[in-house]
Chain A
Amino acid sequence: MEKKGFLDISFGWIFALIIGVFILFLAIFLSVKIIKIGGSQQGAEISKDIGIILDPLETGFEEGKTTILDLGIESKITNICEEDEEFGRQAIKTSQAVFGKQEGGDVEAESYNKYIFSENVLEGKTFYIFSKKFEFPFKVADLIFILPLEKNYCFIRAPEELTNTTRDLRLDNIIKADSSNDCPETSEKVCFDLRVSGCDTKVNLVLNYTEKNNKRLYFYEDSLMYATIFSSPEIYECQLKRLMKRVQSLAIIYEQKKSFVALKNCNSAIDFGLLISQTGSFNKTIDILAIANIKEGLESRNKFSQCSIW
């Protein structure tokens, strides 16, 4: 009599089952990988797209521009700033929620001519993007600010001029208030009067600094003041260093142009030497105040020169 086992399964079936399970696992593994790669591809495309839509924000004569970025689904934008290399580096990484999990975000879209001021990581579906011209004393760049639409900022006792600017830029998530009690609970409270209590960020318009996350960030004029308010201290310090590198490079070009046009009897009494050396040794945000004095001197000299250099 033929002896039968507990389970009457032939070797063929067992073999097919093992290989079947292997193929199934391989298929699942590959599907997960493809979804991940798809997520990365989408993230990379969105990051590159964000980089591209920032180009039209380049200002001409206007002071600033605003645009709205709608990504449709909950997204995470990481702002990366590196100060090494000739002009430093700006990069953005974007990841989006797929089945409640953030996918992508490992591919960077980089640029060297953009300066994005924001928190290190931004989360939301829709974002305000606005630009402000930065002149020091000649036009240096357009500073780009990214704010999540869902995040409110409450400007307490802000000067009229400032609130007018935010109104002109149609930044509806910036609320004007007289005290921190008037601000929405979840908003970031930005105080322009140092006597006000309960502030997340304090702006001193007399001594030109902003206190945020226990750090003092010095600024010069409006565009950099907005930069101190809307960006994390690390991003602000890094972008300011990059901006100073560009000021230095432009100052070298203008110095050469000054000598070149002088051959055509187009004379100017401007000396860029001090600006070039000071921007070259820029290290801390407080250094901006000393360089600003040089900038003001150059500005008035250019205004009254026989020939304007910029």
Chain B
Amino acid sequence: MVKMNSKKAQMKIQQTAFMLIAITLFFVLVGVFFIGFKLSSLKEDVTSLEAKQAKLLVSKLANAPEFACGSAFSEKKSNCVDSDKVLMLMKDIDKYKDFWGVKDIKIRKIYPKLDRDIVCDTSNYPNCNIMNIIERGTIGTYEQNFVSLCRKEVVGDKPYDKCEVAILMVSYEKVK
């Protein structure tokens, strides 16, 4: 009789244990699903914040002291980038790598148009059309803004201001 009772009890314990394990597993699965859902929405939030930042930054970057023409070209211009200054900035760009909090910053001259893309450096400037200011080599999404790209030029021995049309591009990385 005692043996029968103890067998019954053991069965009951086993049943309860299996039930509890099943409940725990169920909650763990729900938890994992919830965390996964949260994580994916978090990644979306990060990407949308990065995009928002790039969008707002690109509209104002031309006015940043490292880019802006200021009063260097006869009259004050808005959305104007001083390409002579940017070229000097590019010489010592390492310390500015994280300064604006974006992945890449580049300027592409669109008018007058060149036959092919030439990346600017001190040896070919100003006969080039792409200034890679911050370049990390990552594939990102670009936000862009039209700007005037101005520099000093000389005819004979007289300096003058030359402005061209360019696009200022800022890229951010999509979180996968």
Contact surface of A with B, Cβ cutoff 8 Å:
10-12, 15-16, 19-20, 23, 27, 30, 41, 45, 48-49, 51-53, 55-56, 58-61, 86-87, 111-113, 138-141, 246, 249-250, 252-254, 256-257, 260-261, 264-266, 306-310
Contacts and interface: CB of A to CB of B under 8 A. Distances in A.
Contacts of A86: 95
Given A55-B53, A61-B76, A10 B20 contact: no
A310 B16 contact: no
Interface in B8-30: 9, 12-13, 15-17, 20, 23-24, 27
Most buried by B among A52, A53, A306: A52
B65 A140 contact: yes
Q: Is the interface of B mostly helix, strand, loop or mixed?
A: helix
Interface string B138-160: 00000000000000111001110
A153 B71 CA distance: 36
A286 B42 CA distance: 46
B27 A266 contact: no
B13 A310 contact: no
A27 B154 contact: no
Interface of B: 9, 12-13, 15-17, 20, 23-24, 27, 31, 42, 45, 49, 52-53, 56-57, 59-60, 63-66, 68, 70-73, 76, 78-79, 82, 84-85, 87-89, 91-92, 95, 98-101, 152-154, 157-159
A48 B66 contact: no
B17 A15 contact: yes
Contacts of B92: 252-253
B84 A45 contact: no
Contacts of A20: 20
Contacts of A11: 9, 12-13
A275 to B, nearest CB: 14
Q: Is the interface of A mostly helix, strand, loop or mixed?
A: helix
B95 A249 contact: yes
Contacts of A138: 65, 70
Given A264-B153, A265-B154, 20 more contacts: A11-B12, A12-B16, A15-B13, A16-B16, A20-B20, A49-B49, A52-B49, A52-B53, A52-B56, A55-B60, A56-B56, A59-B63, A61-B76, A141-B65, A250-B66, A260-B87, A261-B152, A266-B152, A308-B73, A310-B72
B152 A307 contact: yes
Contacts of B84: 257, 260-261
B154 A30 contact: no
Nearest to A306: B159
Given A56-B56, A112-B101, A139-B70, A253 B13 contact: no
Most buried by B among A23, A30, A58: A58
Contact of B159 (A53, A246, A307): A307
Contacts of B157: 265
Given A253-B85, A253-B89, A257-B88, A27 B27 contact: yes
A16 to B, nearest CB: 5
